[in-house]
Amino acid sequence: MKPQLLIGAPTSGSGKTMFTLGLLRALKKRGLKVQPYKGGPDYIDAQYLTIAADRDAVNLDTWMASSTHVQYVYNRYGEKADVCVAEGMMGLYDGYYQMKGSCAEIAGLLNIPVVLVVNARAAAYSVAPVLYGFKHFRSSVRIAGVVFSQVSSPSHFACLKEACSDAGLECLGYLPYSEDLRVPSRHLGLTLTVRQSMDELAEKAAALVEQYIDVDKLLNLCTRIFPCRYTLPYTSEQGVEAMETGRRKKMRIAVARDPAFNFIYRENLDRLAESGNLTFFSPVYGSDLPDADLVYLPGGYPELFARQLHRRKRMMQQLRDYAESGGKVFAECGGMMFLTRSLTARKGGTAYQMTGLLPVDCTMENARLHLGYRRMNYQGISLRGHEFHYSSIAEPDTLPSVTPLYNVKGTEVSTPLYRYKNVIAGYTHWYWGEADLWKLWD
């Protein structure tokens, strides 16, 4: 038995992240080991949760992974924790199709209760029917209690508390409106300054949580049996064991990780670690590429560090030599941008020379959002992932693709997978917790 909960909300912008940051830090300050999770594919919020809890946040996503794998991951990472806290995404029932892929689905799958965060800035007693609807909409999703955000005064909270009681739900407290509680822009990169800012923000939020939230009551209401039961047939461990990792135990794997490249799913790193030793390096600050049998360039914000990357001539030459001699490179989104000939970071800006392995140019001019789940089949391996970027390839037809990508509806999208020798690259951030990534090169 241990406290376990998913923090959800009726809509985006309700204050889930701020409350989650505060709760994680408050529990940590009590001396509890708290395991954070992030529902959905978001890697930025997951990093914020990691900072608040001082423990790596793990993504739970029922589009990118099977139900049994999500349960397996939840149990494995939560095993040594005192408390398990998952932050939801969007509205509680918002998924890729109706509630499929939603955090309500995840809460039901894991059999954990939901703490609902409701933005009360422009609300009063009318929240009662809204809360009543969330309480009764799905019997598989249990609302343990409600936290109100953006509350203007104690009298405002008194009205909200009555509405909560009349809806048949426990009120756990509130967070007052505060100008100090603002999450930094998501397009700043995870620099040391941003990390410090997030740490300070978690401290401020924790102080409010301790003052205005009944944390003990929350923990008591959310205490459940651990681990969650698996959905049968259970295949996740068999899938992991089936990966031919034994013959690859001595593999050397170099992973780029710094403020420009940090969109990494924790489970992906664990899968790579089963094949060999991981060495982390920094394209922004480093000068040498580590010796490796595989170089992994994850996504991030290279456009914010284009000038610094441009100056890493030695590392870029080493990466070119490595790839030209047949070295394996797997690059996602920002990692792929680093492999192009040039990167234009803003409209009318300088086109900074990049590695040049891919004969195309990348630009942030005329930037527009490309967003959504993706899937592909290549070399006998099926992968699912998520695409999120504003940049584009200037002349995409000059670089032939090796396989198309599809969205959740089965429609082909305009950002395919590219290959040059053993360099495999594209805009999608892939999840390979249940797949043998090495098969891409077999």
- Distances in whole angstroms, Cα of residue 12 to Cα of each of 105, 227, 316, 440, 442: 17, 29, 41, 37, 43
- Distances in whole angstroms, Cα of residue 86 to Cα of each of 36, 59, 179, 195: 6, 9, 25, 21
Q: What are phi and psi of 162, to 5 degrees?
A: -65, -40
Catalytic residue among 84, 164, 333, 362: 333
Tokens of 129: 């029917």
- Distances in whole angstroms, Cα of residue 269 to Cα of each of 252, 264, 299, 385: 13, 8, 14, 15
As a whole number of angstroms, the distance between CA 154 and CA 159 comes to: 9
Q: How far apart are the first and last CA of the chain?
A: 45
Tokens of 90: 């969007």
- Distances in whole angstroms, Cα of residue 260 to Cα of each of 120, 187, 307, 363: 37, 11, 12, 16
Tell me which residue of 3, 5, 25, 1 sits closest to 147, measured CA to CA: 5
As a whole number of angstroms, the distance between CA 355 and CA 357 comes to: 6
Does residue 439 contact residue 381 with C-beta atoms inside 8 Å?
Answer: yes
Does residue 62 contact residue 94 with C-beta atoms inside 8 Å?
Answer: no
**Position of tokens 């003052």?**
211
Active-site residue, 159 included:
no
Tell me which residue of 431, 333, 419 sits closest to 375, measured CA to CA: 431
As a whole number of angstroms, the distance between CA 266 and CA 50 comes to: 11
Give the count of beta carbons closer than 10 Å to the beta carbon of residue 311.
13
As a whole number of angstroms, the distance between CA 198 and CA 20 comes to: 13
Does residue 418 contact residue 399 with C-beta atoms inside 8 Å?
Answer: yes
DSSP string spanning 313-357? HHHHHHHHHHHHTT-EEEEETHHHHHHEEEEE-STT--EEE---S
Give the count of beta carbons closer than 10 Å to the beta carbon of residue 433.
23
Active site positions, annotated: 333
